[in-house]
């Protein structure tokens, strides 16, 4: 039987602690670990909440900034995901080098200030620019916060602390649609202004509570140019996809975007192969389970992005629901994730993790197919949307946590953190692709009615989710993880 995801994380923590230098403030009275965990989990909750709030608020934001084009509005979502994906690995390495506390404070500070800038933006592209900054802050604070959880939790409670930290993201998914719907009733700016008081309080508490001290003696800088090339590659691909219906698929602009994406990706891969601290450690892909985890996660996030944004736009633009009605309509699905995740953990003790993840993906595909089959202009949410949405929510809870957490179970323990960051990066790339594909489908609708167009998008989502399930069957590693001694 393969090592469980939590056991893998605990093993990695033990390896880190065994070789970590003693913090310079070790003689001081340590703050209560529960308070430290609360600050870290709240900050991660805040960054995760922002994504789900924006999904529900996309149409009101467009009305507020005077933009109705979905291809342009999609950059509010895609811009965040692109920057987060490209910076996650380098930011994690920088946090390891300069200290997790410093990284956490910097990331949370950037995220909070950028939230204020987003709220004050009076046009779409200014808002997108501040979303870039928000993503940069989130990319720094997320790995730094996990590093702090791992090194401050009491040894007997490490497993529980990791579970609470991870659960904050699921809680954000459940609360995000409703919170977003409530806030935009006042003004769309409030979805960003909400971050200010929470972020400031978390910053003050973090300064007082979090331990200082460098966590790594590795002084090598990560491949920042490689990260920039990855931003260009993903951004150019998304630009070509979302603008192709307007530019024409055979136009010079579209072809140029795709060519730029291909060239930047090739250069990024070349640098990753040669650089001492690459943005993507290609050698990790030799592990069968890790390689399949990245494929499964990318497909899952792409399909889920089509499903979630599609349902949100359907409720608002076709059924003409208000933002709060849409939030309440979307919430039941994410609410099932937290419950199903606990079930997934129990199943993983008896069933191969690949099978658990595949089962979840199949459930999401079936739930999405239900919504696609029942797409119509009739306002029957209880029969057309809710059953499929609940099934899909259970599937997400089974599949997604299993995919991400088990991805590194076959890797050496000293490479688990980097591996986790790469899988998370694959998920963000999938999100960009999913949003871009949905924009293309809706833009190319032509004379087809909205029911037929959205139904096509959901069928494509169901197909991609089924493919993710097939890829997930390869998750279970063939070998046990090896313990690697310090270099």
Q: Picking from 255-269, 304-318, 347-361, which range would have the lowest pLDDT averaged per residue?
A: 347-361
pLDDT range class, residue 53, cuts 50, 70, 90: confident
Instruction: Give percent of the chain above pLDDT 90.
Output: 38
pLDDT recorded at residue 372: 94
pLDDT recorded at residue 116: 96
Is the pLDDT at 442 greater than 60? The verdict is yes
pLDDT range class, residue 28, cuts 50, 70, 90: low
Count of C-beta atoms within a 10 Å radius of residue 265: 17
- What's the mean per-residue pLDDT of the chain? 83
More confident residue, 268 or 276: 268
pLDDT recorded at residue 117: 96
Cα separations (Å) of 462 from 308, 366, 450, 467?
12, 7, 18, 9
pLDDT range class, residue 13, cuts 50, 70, 90: very low
Among candidate residues 131, 110, 120, 117, the one with its CA nearest the CA of residue 187 = 120
Is the pLDDT at 420 greater than 70? The verdict is yes
pLDDT recorded at residue 20: 42
More confident residue, 270 or 149: 270
What residues contact residue 402 under an 8 Å CB cut-off, 6+ apart? 5, 344, 348, 353, 356, 357, 360, 472, 475
Is the pLDDT at 484 greater than 50? The verdict is no
Region 113-130 average pLDDT: 95
Is the pLDDT at 61 greater than 50? The verdict is yes
pLDDT recorded at residue 9: 37
Is the pLDDT at 2 greater than 50? The verdict is no
Among candidate residues 290, 333, 351, the one with its CA nearest the CA of residue 343 = 351
pLDDT recorded at residue 444: 77
Is the pLDDT at 105 greater than 80? The verdict is yes
Region 147-155 average pLDDT: 83
Q: Which of 75-89, 150-164, 337-351, 395-409 has the highest mean pLDDT?
A: 75-89
Region 126-139 average pLDDT: 94
Q: Return d(Cα 153, Cα 322) in angstroms, integer.
A: 43
Is the pLDDT at 397 greater than 60? The verdict is yes
Q: Return d(Cα 69, Cα 125) in angstroms, integer.
A: 13
Is the pLDDT at 97 greater than 80? The verdict is no
Torsion, Cα 386 391 392 396, to 10 degrees, reads 140
pLDDT recorded at residue 446: 65
Region 124-129 average pLDDT: 95
pLDDT recorded at residue 414: 62
Q: Return d(Cα 7, Cα 11) in angstroms, integer.
A: 6
pLDDT recorded at residue 219: 60
Is the pLDDT at 388 greater than 50? The verdict is yes
Q: Return d(Cα 408, Cα 4) in angstroms, integer.
A: 10
Q: Return d(Cα 43, Cα 108) in angstroms, integer.
A: 7
More confident residue, 391 or 224: 391
Among candidate residues 211, 204, 179, 206, the one with its CA nearest the CA of residue 193 = 179
**pTM of structure:** 0.84
Tens of pLDDT, residues 290-341:
889 899 999 999 999 999 999 999 999 899 999 899 989 988 988 888 778 7
Tens of pLDDT, residues 191-248:
999 999 999 999 999 998 888 755 555 667 778 888 889 889 998 998 898 888 888 8
Is the pLDDT at 412 greater than 80? The verdict is no
Asked if 367 contacts 389 with a C-beta cutoff of 8 angstroms, the reply is yes
pLDDT recorded at residue 480: 45
Asked if 191 contacts 63 with a C-beta cutoff of 8 angstroms, the reply is no
Q: Name the residue with tokens 């003004």.
A: 187
Is the pLDDT at 25 greater than 60? The verdict is no
pLDDT range class, residue 477, cuts 50, 70, 90: low
Is the pLDDT at 391 greater than 90? The verdict is yes
């Amino acid at each position: 039987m393969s090592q469980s995801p939590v056991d893998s994380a605990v093993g990695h923590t033990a390896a880190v602690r065994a070789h970590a230098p003693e913090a310079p403030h070790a003689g001081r009275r340590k703050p209560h670990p529960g308070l430290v965990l609360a600050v870290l989990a709240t900050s991660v909750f805040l960054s995760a909440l922002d994504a789900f709030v924006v999904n529900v608020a996309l149409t009101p934001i467009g009305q507020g900034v005077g933009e109705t084009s979905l291809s342009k509005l999609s950059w509010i979502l895609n811009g965040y995901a692109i920057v987060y994906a490209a910076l996650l690995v380098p930011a994690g390495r920088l946090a390891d080098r300069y200290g997790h506390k410093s990284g956490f404070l910097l990331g949370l500070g950037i995220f909070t200030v950028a939230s204020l800038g987003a709220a004050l933006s009076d046009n779409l592209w200014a808002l997108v620019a501040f979303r870039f900054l928000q993503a940069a802050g989130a990319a720094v604070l997320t790995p730094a916060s996990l590093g702090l959880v791992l090194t401050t939790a009491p040894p007997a409670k490490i497993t529980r602390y990791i579970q609470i930290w991870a659960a904050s993201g699921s809680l954000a998914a459940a609360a995000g649609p409703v919170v977003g719907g409530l806030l935009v009733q006042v003004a769309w700016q409030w979805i960003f202004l909400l971050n200010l008081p929470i972020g400031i309080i978390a910053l003050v508490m973090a300064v007082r509570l979090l331990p200082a001290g460098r966590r790594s003696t590795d002084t090598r800088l990560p491949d920042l140019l490689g990260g920039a090339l990855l931003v260009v590659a993903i951004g150019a691909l998304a630009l070509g996809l979302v603008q192709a219906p307007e530019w024409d698929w055979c136009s010079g602009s579209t072809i140029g975007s795709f060519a730029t994406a291909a060239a930047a990706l090739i250069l990024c891969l070349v640098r990753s192969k040669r650089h001492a601290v690459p943005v993507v450690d290609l050698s990790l892909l030799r592990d069968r389970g890790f390689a399949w985890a990245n494929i499964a996660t990318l497909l899952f996030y792409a399909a889920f992005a089509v499903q979630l944004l599609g349902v949100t736009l359907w409720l608002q633009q076709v059924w003409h629901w208000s933002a709060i009605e849409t939030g309440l309509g979307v919430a039941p699905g994410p609410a099932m994730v937290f419950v199903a995740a606990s079930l997934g953990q129990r199943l993983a003790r008896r069933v191969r993790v690949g099978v658990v993840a595949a089962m979840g993906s199949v459930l999401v595909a079936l739930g999405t197919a239900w919504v696609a089959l029942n797409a119509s202009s009739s306002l029957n949410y209880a029969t057309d949307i809710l059953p499929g949405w609940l099934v899909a929510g259970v599937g997400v809870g089974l599949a997604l946590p299993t995919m991400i957490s088990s991805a590194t179970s076959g890797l050496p323990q000293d490479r688990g953190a980097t591996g986790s960051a790469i899988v998370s990066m694959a998920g963000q790339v999938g999100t960009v692709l999913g949003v871009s594909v949905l924009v293309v489908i809706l833009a190319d609708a032509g004379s087809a009615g909205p029911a037929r167009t959205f139904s096509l998008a959901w069928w494509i989502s169901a197909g991609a989710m089924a493919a993710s399930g097939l890829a997930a069957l390869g998750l279970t590693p063939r070998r046990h993880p090896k313990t690697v001694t310090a270099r």
